[in-house]
Structure 1
Amino acid sequence: MRNIAIYISTTKPEAGANMIHLTNRQARQFLLLKHGLVGEYKFSGKQGVLDFVRQVGCLQYDPIDVCGKNAELVLQSRIKGFTKGMLAQLLYEDRRLVDYPDKNLAIILAEDWPYFERYRQAARQHAERYPEMEALSAEVRAHIQTHGALSSDDLKLEGDFSWRSAIHWSGGNNSARSVLEQMYSTGELIIHHKKGTRKYYDAANKYIQPHLLNAPEPLQDELEHYKWRVLRRIGSVGLLWNRASDAWLNIWGLKSAQRNEVFRQLVDEARIAAVTVEQMKDKLYCLAEDLPLIEAVLQNNQDPSPRCELIAPLDNLLWDRKLISELFGFEYTWEIYTPAVKRKFGYYVLPLLYGESIIGRAEITVERKSGTLVVKNIWYETGVKPTTQLRTALNGCIQRFALFNGCETISAETAI
């Protein structure tokens, strides 16, 4: 076993922090172990969903459903026995999870609701610029009181009203949609349920517990809020660097100067630790609470059995694709918005993980009428040999994926 030194750095801004040195393989092992993507499943059932969302902070939501929606795809790769119904139950029956912007459109724990109060307050202030909104909001309240949850198609409002949300969405000349999104951004409404891509809204006070709904902002100081959100994002990916990254998306006002100060303070407070990885120029950072897992990897106490998993296109692990390129040697572009003639692979292609490596990518669709999972293509990375062991693992992965999608038949247009 290679001896890996851990020493105390005296170079700012790492003063007082444990500087950890990892090989590339050890960094990958740590990430995959943290995410529960190697060895025995770390998470199981509905409780496993909650535990995983608590670990990563949020799941990025995307409504496109080719072979499962993004959040469902994230969970199927990690949660033993996961079904799409589990996520729907936690969102719309148990109300333990809630649709709310975090890293763009997202799903968060209901218990984290108070930490986003500053954004709801900003939305309320934003709404003051549109006095005509209040009359429309009153109509929405009256409709909900009489009829219950509604979508923009259920509400016909007079006139055109052009508006842009203070949080994320933008409304066009659709008054009903605009007012629903505004009331959602202020926290007065939540998403009650979805039918396909259509959102149905209801009053938040029916579903969010009063001690959460009416809680004041827990972190009044802006810098403390930034620290909370940066910690959350580092924990979501596992390792992150202090540089521009898609992993920081939708943290309002977090410019490089603020981010540098956040990292400096988090290091000084020993809430994060600096990590160097062989042949990587930039330092990475992990949560202090993850140091025992890093120590286990350093001591070579982890030798998990390989699994084969299909990874979601907006998976937490992939939030910084430059980082994934450096650590895994895997270049990934989600080509869903790329014109067909310019795509290298396909419309909705999922990275394929086997053991400690991302070995390729797969294009898989679901024919719902026939209940058939169609494996359209599999592209292996250069140098990957589809051994008997790999093919066996891949077959098991595809069979689990068919079960996850409710398919009884698998049709392969390429060799598996």
Structure 2
Amino acid sequence: MQTITRQQARQFILSKQGLIGSHRFTGKDGAYAYVRQAGCIQYDPVDVCGKNAELTLQSRVKGFKKTMLHDLLYKDRKLVDYADKELSIWPSEDWPYFSSYRDRSRKLGRTFKGLKRLEKQAIEYIEANGPVSSDSLPIEGEIFWHSSMHWSGNWQKKSQAARSVLEQLYTDGELVIHHKKGSRKYYDLAGRHLSKDILEADNPCKTEEEFLCWRVLRRIGAAGLLWDKNSTAFLGLDINAEKRKQALETLTEEGKIIPVMVEGIKQPFYYRAEDANLMNAILEGTADLKPRMSFIAPLDPLMWDKSLILALWDYQYSWEIYTPAVKRKYGYYVLPVLFGDRFVGRIEVVPDRKTGVLEVRNIWWEEDVRQTKKLNAALEKTVKDFAKFNDCEEIEYL
């Protein structure tokens, strides 16, 4: 088995993800191409300086605007909001693969007596009136609702009846998210927005084992390199050490992934066989590794496995949004700063949307980072691009 250096591993990951070298992803088509490559990007409703999915795309898609993601989701319908790695955004063409999710929802999601009647009522209302939110669907009261889904475990809650009915129909695949206003979701019939070919296609995976292998391969493609170790990059998969080992062995035997060792790390890593040419270019020193700076989203695929980031980059990052203020080391919504093949620091940037001013509240450089003209020029350009991304015309360093 081949052994590579940690620097080569870092360069391979960043090149695969489009975070180093000349931009591989540009504009709306580039945003779609990146989501297809990653398989899924995580959605989070918090919007301090852009929502997580938007931040993920702005860091690697040249000229990205927030409207591009909105259009891909709710006009072009090339992407859908649905569960995968938590609530995610992924290509509509992958809809058939998740039929087992929807089958499970239909079988196990109806523990409330009378839910079927309410679902019929909801569908008839949407057919007649169009997209609805939980506030506009005329179903009143509360129900004690149970869910048992692969991605959320088993839980029970008492919730607004309209919301529960919509969520059930959504996980069943009867409804899709039509659009969002802030964090509020509006639902419509899936048949109005996804083609019949997609909705009625057979699942390409005939067994749960095939589905797991497909998903593991997908996550490796998102990360670039993943190790044979418990990893948060596999979050949302029904997987343990034994299943992970079996999936990796199967994919290796099928020639879909290639194992590699990284110096100083005992666990083997794996990358997709389709990326063999990129790996060779990294090892031969012929890959495009032109440095550029990016602000990375907290739930970016690059940051899915923080233990891996620590092992390869010696960079420790914690998203402190849920940490009590008095215990935070940095701040509420702080983004890792990547320059070239290194994490050089972290930054807190907040747009004042009333005044159109982007406030750079704090920058924390790593201890061994030198303040060079090249670094400061890259920072200035990246902040300007970030201000434009957030519709800000001015920048203020606090």
TM-score when normalising by structure 2: 0.97
Aligned AA (1:61): Y
| Deviations, residues 161-213 of structure 1 (Å, cap 9, x unaligned) | 02133335775321111111000000000000000010000000101111111
What corresponds to 2:79 in structure 1? Answer: 97
Q: Which residue of the other structure, out of 132, 142, 156, is the alignment partner of 1:160?
A: 142
Answering whether residue 29 of structure 2 is matched by residue 43 of structure 1, we say: no
Aligned AA (2:284): Q
Structure 2: distance between partners of 1:127 and 1:309: 42
Deviates more, 1:72-81 or 1:300-309: 300-309
| Deviations, residues 83-140 of structure 1 (Å, cap 9, x unaligned) | 0000000000000000011111100000000000000000000134333111111221
Report if aligned partners of 1:362, 1:379 keep a CA contact under 8 Å in 2: yes
What corresponds to 1:234 in structure 2? Answer: 220
What corresponds to 2:342 in structure 1? Answer: 357
| Deviations, residues 308-360 of structure 1 (Å, cap 9, x unaligned) | 11000000011110000111111010000000010000000000001110000
Q: How far is the alpha carbon of 1:393 from its aligned partner?
A: 0.4
Report if aligned partners of 1:365, 1:375 keep a CA contact under 8 Å in 2: yes
Q: How far is the alpha carbon of 1:22 from its aligned partner?
A: 1.0
Deviates more, 1:312-321 or 1:214-223: 214-223
Report if aligned partners of 2:294, 2:338 keep a CA contact under 8 Å in 1: yes
Question: 1:41 is paired with a residue of what secondary structure?
Answer: coil
Answering whether residue 210 of structure 2 is matched by residue 224 of structure 1, we say: yes
Report if aligned partners of 1:365, 1:374 keep a CA contact under 8 Å in 2: yes
Question: 2:382 is paired with a residue of what secondary structure?
Answer: helix
Report if aligned partners of 1:166, 1:185 keep a CA contact under 8 Å in 2: no
What corresponds to 2:108 in structure 1? Answer: 126
Question: 1:179 is paired with a residue of what secondary structure?
Answer: helix
Q: Which residue of the other structure, out of 109, 114, 120, is the alignment partner of 2:91?
A: 109
Aligned AA (1:296): A
Structure 2: distance between partners of 1:112 and 1:27: 29
What corresponds to 2:295 in structure 1? Answer: 310
Q: Which residue of the other structure, out of 152, 170, 174, is the alignment partner of 1:184?
A: 170
Report if aligned partners of 1:165, 1:185 keep a CA contact under 8 Å in 2: no
Aligned AA (1:62): D
Report if aligned partners of 2:112, 2:144 keep a CA contact under 8 Å in 1: no
Structure 2: distance between partners of 1:388 and 1:88: 37
Structure 2: distance between partners of 1:397 and 1:321: 24
Question: 2:315 is paired with a residue of what secondary structure?
Answer: coil
Q: 1:141 to 1:303 in 2, by over 3 A?
A: closer
What corresponds to 1:268 in structure 2? Answer: 253
Aligned AA (1:96): K
Report if aligned partners of 1:165, 1:181 keep a CA contact under 8 Å in 2: no
Question: 2:28 is paired with a residue of what secondary structure?
Answer: helix
Deviates more, 1:256-265 or 1:326-335: 256-265
What corresponds to 2:158 in structure 1? Answer: 172
Report if aligned partners of 2:36, 2:91 keep a CA contact under 8 Å in 1: yes
Q: How far is the alpha carbon of 1:303 from its aligned partner?
A: 4.8
Q: How far is the alpha carbon of 1:20 from its aligned partner?
A: 2.4
Deviates more, 1:259-268 or 1:126-135: 126-135
Q: Which residue of the other structure, out of 297, 305, 325, is the alignment partner of 2:310?
A: 325
What corresponds to 1:16 in structure 2? Answer: none
Report if aligned partners of 1:55, 1:236 keep a CA contact under 8 Å in 2: yes
Question: 2:245 is paired with a residue of what secondary structure?
Answer: helix
Report if aligned partners of 2:22, 2:288 keep a CA contact under 8 Å in 1: no
Q: Which residue of the other structure, out of 195, 201, 204, is the alignment partner of 2:181?
A: 195
Answering whether residue 325 of structure 2 is matched by residue 340 of structure 1, we say: yes
**Count of paired positions:** 394
Q: How far is the alpha carbon of 1:220 from its aligned partner?
A: 1.8
Report if aligned partners of 1:227, 1:266 keep a CA contact under 8 Å in 2: yes
Structure 2: distance between partners of 1:164 and 1:106: 22
| Deviations, residues 225-281 of structure 1 (Å, cap 9, x unaligned) | 1110000000010000111111111113x2221111111111122211111111112
Answering whether residue 192 of structure 2 is matched by residue 206 of structure 1, we say: yes
- Unmatched runs of 5 consecutive residues or more in structure 1: 1-18
The 4+ residue runs of structure 1 with deviation greater than 4 A are 168-171
- Unmatched runs of 5 consecutive residues or more in structure 2: none
Q: How far is the alpha carbon of 1:296 from its aligned partner?
A: 0.4
Q: Which residue of the other structure, out of 211, 225, 230, is the alignment partner of 1:244?
A: 230
Structure 1: distance between partners of 2:266 and 2:365: 28
What corresponds to 2:38 in structure 1? Answer: 56
Report if aligned partners of 2:112, 2:146 keep a CA contact under 8 Å in 1: no
Answering whether residue 273 of structure 2 is matched by residue 291 of structure 1, we say: no
Deviates more, 1:75-84 or 1:296-305: 296-305
Structure 1: distance between partners of 2:146 and 2:13: 38
Structure 2: distance between partners of 1:142 and 1:34: 46
